[in-house]
Structure 1
Amino acid sequence: MTLERDYHDTCRAALDAMIEGAGEQVIASVDVSASGADAEVLGFQLRTQAKQMSELPRGPLFFGRLDFQRSPRTAGDHAGQSYHVGRLRITEHPSSPPLVVDWRAPVSRAFYRASARDPQGVAVRRRFGWAPGGGGDSSELTGFEDERVAYEPEDERVAYGGEPYVGAVRGRAVRAGEVRGEGEVGEGGSGAVPGGILAAEIERPRVGPMRDIAATIQPEQDTLVRGELSDSVCVQGAPGTGKTAVGLHRAAYLLYTYPRRVQRGGLLILGPDRTFLRYIAEVLPSLGEIGVRQSTVRDETARHPVTATDTPAAEAVKHDIRMALVLRRALYARVGGVCEEVAVTDGSYRWRVPLGELERIVDAVREEEPPYAVGRERVRSRVVAHIRARAERRAGPVTHAWVQRTGRARSLSAYVDAVWPKVRPEEVVDAVLTDPVALAEAAEGVLTRQEQRVLMTAGVGRGAARSGDQRAGASPAGRGRRAGARARSRGWTEADLVLLDEVAGLIEHPESYGHIVIDEAQDLSPMQCRVIARRAGFGSVTVLGDLAQGTTPWAAGDWPALLGHLGKPEASLVRLTTGFRVPGAIVALANRLLATLGVDVPAGRSLREDGELSVRRVTDVATATVEAVQKALTHEGSVGVIAADADIARLREALSAAGAEPAGPDDLGARLTLLPATRAKGLEYDHVVAVEPAAIAEAEPRGAHRLYVVLTRAVSRLDVLHSRPLPFGAE
């Protein structure tokens, strides 16, 4: 223990020196001998590095150690070496061997995967236990635990510095030669029961944002984390299997392993809402990665503020995949309609392009299906190319200036504006939602008459069509001009923003990210998937979700269809069913409800036999909730009271009257939180009080799926209070 504490002090001093050195490099870079541009780039890189290092959260600098076997035959280049494993690389000098190796480094792979069946050259794996400390440090070493992965000829091998393998964990001695048994291997899980320090870390009470799991990654999780950058993967994860943590650690791994390729395209984390993003916001910084964009689909499509709402029927139609074809038709209905040749003046000469040639050019470009804006310029350039070929046959090669001048000719620009007009997404979407003629033309054979009427009704009061727009003789261009005027003053719904993004993507492709991590993906609509697909055209994705937790009206019924909408049908599907986070009794209760959800996912299982579950029928749920909360607050950790949205006000009043003032779901550091069931997804609490499950299940069309989410938010204790029959059967 003393040697390890001293080693941690050495590492802390080295890290402080690294941070100080980064600041000094920024100052020194001012005098660097280089061009102004090079100096600016270097200065930016150094300032970014210094800022990131200074913002690293204080905490233990290592959580494990690997001692490799002495034989080069089994351990290769690492024979006889010891490595401390932590969240970032720490060294006393850039050219010196590291004091701590990064958990993402190749050598660290063995920390997560080495086993008695496959030692990977490891003799002993050590895990460290930490507690909050003082004196300027945020961690105190409380113990360590060794696992003999493989035996060497010496029965009692001694660690470096003469310290034998012996540690105290929860009062139990763990000595040299002790081998932890391996459990059965289940689907998506190693089956090994965590014990000692590993179990203590998994079960540690939590208050506040989500923590990283670098110290507790399991073998099957590590396989997903360390996948290739080019690989797209979909993780179907039962509650408590750590799928969110896997996605975030995969992001950190890719940034570490492929820094230039990922940073060139960027890395995006997509979550379901801002509360969820705040909950996970500290994970990447704790792993040394700062500056990753974390966003929602709504943020990505926020061309306008949301100032209107849709009816459920209209919202369902707008999120339907068929709207992609409707909008494409509506956009390209603006192309064409010119019935005369084009004449371009060239000095004293006039070049005439016959109507037939112009029609051939437009038809050819449309068949190529480029982005709308690209197609517009492609028409211009091909008309110029036609004129150029004739000019060169007449007088020889022309200059680049001649080509530019011809392309800017007023008559040619007027032709392009007429045959392939400039257009804004707002004009197209507004016309589809408010002009029955434009909608009927675009939706013929795609949407039913009733669905078209639903869209028209959605536009009433929000810039609805004038009667003049509905006359049969109105041209697409004329209707487009009127739609443009309306679009500037209308209110937009959240679903409208998705439609706007669809049209914007048809006009001009957005920049693609190098990698996108998508959490709670089962709740994405097909049109929202297309929003993401446009941003992942040249990158890969990590898709995380659970079909059983799908609560939106358009929630996915299977993963292949959703992956197709994301443009990644080739993504591999991995199922995680074995959990370490949610106790077995709670998982068993949720599995009773799972059978009624109509989704093809395997039942979850847990390797945790601890935890508490109480299902009680009560007369007054408000009074019983107060009593349950008072008892829960006698334990460590966070307490979440979750109920149907309509019951929140009544429960808040009861809790406040009893002196237990609850915080809202956005206050992530609170000990006691009261939150509606619709805000619970993705969050975790040590103790959950689930109030009146029947009310949660009846509150919305997919209320049973919502209840499944609620029942799986507890990681230690769950109280289910009900005065009405339970939706999942007898107690």
Structure 2
Amino acid sequence: MPSPAHPSPNDPSDLLARERAHLAASRSALRAMRKDAEELNIADVAANWVNAKVLQSEIEARIKALADLSHTPLFFGRLDYLHAPGVDLAEGAAGENFYIGRRHVHDADGDPMVIDWRAPVSQPFYRASTKDPMDLKLRRRFGYTGGELTAYEDEHLADPAETARTSALLQSEIERPRVGPMRDIVATIQPEQDEIVRAGIGGSVCVQGAPGTGKTAVGLHRVAYLLYAHRERLARSGTLVVGPNRSFLHYIEQVLPALGELEVKQATVDDLVAHVEVRGTDDAAAATVKGDARMAQVLRRAVRAGITPPAEPCVVVRGSRRWRVPAYEIEDIVRELMDRDIRYGAAREALPQRIAHAVLVRMEQAGEAPDDRVQDAVARNAAVKAAVKAVWPPVDPAKLVLRLLGDAEFLAEQADGILTPEEQKAILWARPARSVKSAKWSAADAVLIDEATDLVERTPSLGHVVLDEAQDLSPMQYRAVGRRCSTGSATILGDIAQGTTPWATDTWEEALAHLGKPGSAVEELTQGFRVPREVIAYASRLLPAIAPDLTPATSIRESAGDFEVRRVATEDLDAAVLTACERALTNEGSIGLIAAEARIPALRAALEAAGMACLAPGEETSAESRLTLVPATLAKGLEYDYVVLDEPAAIIDGEPDERTGLRRLYVCLTRPVSGLTVIHATDLPELLGAAAATTG
């Protein structure tokens, strides 16, 4: 690619003009690439209408991926190499310049004008340093305002006089106000994050990340990288992002499309196991037992409970001959299939073929010469079907779980030695349901049905799964997700300190074992980019009580942010919260008012009475308001420029125990990007101390 002429160092305006010209030329080239795709004529290319439809779908996806997003920088950096990458670094070898961006752009001759950030040649943009310049002469970062290139910043990595320093443009990008859904961090990926993003597809990676360390963004960019590096493989097997709730998925849904990846599916765990309509709820005790990994053993027993030794031989009539397979031989076949530990349904399909084979052996011994067609015909014989039904009856997973939870005697038989009588009582329905449709299934019940379904028939595996907020999953939910990547890899994201369910995991090693990925690498991110220093330090006071083994996070943000803890009289609480929201709204960016579930109706009424419009989580793209009223139970994974936190004691009291309550509070305290105001009328937890009112 031709390099732009280097102007005098004393003429930065001329250099900026040249870079703007390259941006304009690159945008023009991108439009030309899209036009070429739009004008493709496949009328005489496809062999049939099916191929034509598939090809047209791929073309449409490419056209969509080539959209020029006017407010998204086409490139954000430039690398000037000392030598041409990939060639012998002999003295005098010519270097090259590369612009690094969100997607590849080439000119009419096919020469690259922008290099995809995932390409190997782009890696030094994220990894190079003055200690290890990675053959770079210069790394240039670009600053944008509303899509227009307005600034640049150079690092002369090959210059011995150059010292390590924090990039002002990088700092500005990190501290830029958050408005609307989550955006990509492709321009600000740090070396430790890049190592995780570019980890190979062969193994799974677990990321323990403190609030604001970018673990969600790392997971999404890892998907984008793997799709770039292994596109054909993942196109066949598929990719999936699993999030904790719909609000969270809505918040992150624009990240991958902005990187040109449009085919990655998103779902919650509830979506994955949606075999029945969920209309009921469990108390904490029942949900904990149902989510315990021991339930897999109970279900395994229950699925096989109907297998019965044959009471009589199977007699097959073909023409004038009768062929007899004795009961003991069928019993041997059944025992062998059970010992092989294959899926219940697969074994049931194999059983008639095995009985038919026994018949064919007798035919051959009698001098006949049967072939495979005869064996298939015998397997379909009414006598063989009847024998199979009696010995290995079909299993409906939902009906099986219905019986297990509604029949005390059946549950006791299958859970004997696995669950205690008290645990069995906790999960037994008070009123047995008459049918699958009439049952008030809970979310935990749906996971049990999914487990039973997999015992009957193998769940298809995807090529890669990203599991976010993984610390909140039960062992049975881990198993459900693990089934979706049993032959693929996974990226597991979470924070032990933010586990807010009664069954939240205490160690990633245990979680990875349930997921079916034991021994996977566990990487810890502790350097924050989002939460202000004072805020993360304040929230980290809770770590000794909620996750004593974790390293407290630090923050590279230079801005201390606004931070205030204010105590008011109980009768003044609502008014003080509204005042704090009004003050936050004078700043640029989004505002989240986070409160305990029990406080939401009163606060919504107070906001309406004051004429202050507010949104619900997941509606942040609306232009009606910048203020979102967030129940504490939905705050996880979300972020706002300014957070007003209402009555921490109520958040703690809304959870089943103090430890879970403190973890929920830790989550809520770490949602702000620029400022936090805590309003309380009741004493704060002792670990937080009686903090004096402070304003940054």
- Flag whether TM exceeds 0.5 (same fold): yes
CA distance in 1, matches of 2:67, 2:129: 37
**For residue 67 of structure 1, what is the aligned residue in structure 2?**
80
CA distance in 1, matches of 2:661, 2:412: 35
Q: Deviations over 1:216-249 (max 9, x none)?
A: 0000000000010111000000111100000000
1:28-427 → structure 2 map (5 Å cutoff)? 28-32=41-45, 34=47, 37-54=50-67, 59-70=72-83, 79-93=94-108, 96-132=110-146, 139-151=147-159, 179-181=162-164, 194-427=166-399
Which one of the candidate residues 442, 448, 453 is aligned to 1:504? 453
CA distance in 2, matches of 1:518, 1:565: 13
Number of residues paired by the alignment? 663
**For residue 478 of structure 1, what is the aligned residue in structure 2?**
none
CA RMSD of aligned residues (A): 1.8
Moved more, 290-299 or 654-663: 654-663
Which one of the candidate residues 474, 478, 494 is aligned to 1:545? 494
CA distance in 2, matches of 1:597, 1:616: 24
CA distance in 2, matches of 1:47, 1:351: 60
**For residue 476 of structure 1, what is the aligned residue in structure 2?**
none
User: Structure 2: any 5+ residue segments left out of the alignment?
Assistant: 1-15, 692-696
**For residue 503 of structure 2, what is the aligned residue in structure 1?**
554
Note if contact 2:175-2:557 (Cα within 8 Å) is conserved in structure 1: no
Kindly state the Cα deviation for residue 667 of structure 1 after the two structures are TM-superposed. 1.3
Q: So what's the TM-score if we normalise by structure 2?
A: 0.92
- What amino acid is aligned across from residue 612 of structure 1 in structure 2? D
Change in Cα spacing, 1:671 to 1:316, as seen in structure 2 (3 Å) is: same
Note if contact 1:69-1:75 (Cα within 8 Å) is conserved in structure 2: no
Note if contact 1:57-1:286 (Cα within 8 Å) is conserved in structure 2: no
Kindly state the Cα deviation for residue 599 of structure 1 after the two structures are TM-superposed. 4.5
**For residue 455 of structure 1, what is the aligned residue in structure 2?**
427
Note if contact 2:137-2:156 (Cα within 8 Å) is conserved in structure 1: yes
CA distance in 2, matches of 1:626, 1:270: 35
Q: 2:182 aligns to what SS in structure 1?
A: coil
Change in Cα spacing, 1:654 to 1:235, as seen in structure 2 (3 Å) is: same
Q: 2:240 aligns to what SS in structure 1?
A: strand
CA distance in 1, matches of 2:443, 2:23: 51
**For residue 515 of structure 2, what is the aligned residue in structure 1?**
566
Which one of the candidate residues 15, 20, 43 is aligned to 1:5? 20
CA distance in 1, matches of 2:425, 2:120: 59
**For residue 582 of structure 2, what is the aligned residue in structure 1?**
630
Change in Cα spacing, 1:590 to 1:204, as seen in structure 2 (3 Å) is: same
**For residue 667 of structure 2, what is the aligned residue in structure 1?**
709
CA distance in 1, matches of 2:362, 2:549: 64
CA distance in 1, matches of 2:466, 2:127: 24
Change in Cα spacing, 1:180 to 1:197, as seen in structure 2 (3 Å) is: farther
Q: Deviations over 1:305-363 (max 9, x none)?
A: 21222233222211111111111111100111431010111221111111111111101
CA distance in 1, matches of 2:385, 2:468: 46
Kindly state the Cα deviation for residue 426 of structure 1 after the two structures are TM-superposed. 1.2
Q: 1:30 aligns to what SS in structure 2?
A: coil
Kindly state the Cα deviation for residue 36 of structure 1 after the two structures are TM-superposed. 5.1
CA distance in 2, matches of 1:55, 1:318: 49
Note if contact 1:75-1:120 (Cα within 8 Å) is conserved in structure 2: no
Change in Cα spacing, 1:88 to 1:564, as seen in structure 2 (3 Å) is: same
Q: Deviations over 1:382-413 (max 9, x none)?
A: 11222222222222432222111111000001
CA distance in 2, matches of 1:75, 1:582: 46
Kindly state the Cα deviation for residue 722 of structure 1 after the two structures are TM-superposed. 1.4
- What amino acid is aligned across from residue 24 of structure 1 in structure 2? E
Moved more, 74-83 or 343-352: 74-83
1:615 aligns with 2:565: yes
Note if contact 1:645-1:678 (Cα within 8 Å) is conserved in structure 2: yes
Which one of the candidate residues 390, 400, 406 is aligned to 1:434? 406
Q: Deviations over 1:29-82 (max 9, x none)?
A: 122264555444433322332233348675211011001115876599994211
**For residue 530 of structure 1, what is the aligned residue in structure 2?**
479
User: Structure 1: any 5+ residue segments left out of the alignment?
Assistant: 133-138, 153-176, 183-193, 465-485
Note if contact 2:345-2:456 (Cα within 8 Å) is conserved in structure 1: yes
Q: So what's the TM-score if we normalise by structure 1?
A: 0.88
Q: Deviations over 1:119-156 (max 9, x none)?
A: 11111111111111xxxxxx11111111111129xxxx
**For residue 8 of structure 2, what is the aligned residue in structure 1?**
none
CA distance in 1, matches of 2:49, 2:280: 50
- What amino acid is aligned across from residue 512 of structure 2 in structure 1? L
CA distance in 1, matches of 2:629, 2:329: 69
CA distance in 1, matches of 2:415, 2:125: 57
- What amino acid is aligned across from residue 720 of structure 1 in structure 2? V
Kindly state the Cα deviation for residue 604 of structure 1 after the two structures are TM-superposed. 1.0
**For residue 729 of structure 1, what is the aligned residue in structure 2?**
689
Identity value in percent = 48
Q: 2:345 aligns to what SS in structure 1?
A: helix
Moved more, 303-312 or 199-208: 303-312
Change in Cα spacing, 1:674 to 1:351, as seen in structure 2 (3 Å) is: same
Note if contact 1:75-1:121 (Cα within 8 Å) is conserved in structure 2: no
CA distance in 2, matches of 1:375, 1:686: 56
Note if contact 2:142-2:151 (Cα within 8 Å) is conserved in structure 1: yes
- What amino acid is aligned across from residue 88 of structure 1 in structure 2? R
**For residue 694 of structure 2, what is the aligned residue in structure 1?**
none
Note if contact 2:406-2:431 (Cα within 8 Å) is conserved in structure 1: no
**For residue 472 of structure 1, what is the aligned residue in structure 2?**
none
Q: 1:561 aligns to what SS in structure 2?
A: helix
Q: 2:143 aligns to what SS in structure 1?
A: strand
**For residue 660 of structure 1, what is the aligned residue in structure 2?**
612
Moved more, 76-85 or 694-703: 76-85
- What amino acid is aligned across from residue 181 of structure 1 in structure 2? A
Kindly state the Cα deviation for residue 676 of structure 1 after the two structures are TM-superposed. 1.1
**For residue 10 of structure 2, what is the aligned residue in structure 1?**
none
CA distance in 2, matches of 1:123, 1:382: 70
CA distance in 2, matches of 1:395, 1:298: 58
CA distance in 2, matches of 1:102, 1:180: 28
CA distance in 2, matches of 1:88, 1:52: 9
Change in Cα spacing, 1:56 to 1:414, as seen in structure 2 (3 Å) is: farther
CA distance in 1, matches of 2:391, 2:524: 51
- What amino acid is aligned across from residue 300 of structure 1 in structure 2? L
**For residue 5 of structure 2, what is the aligned residue in structure 1?**
none
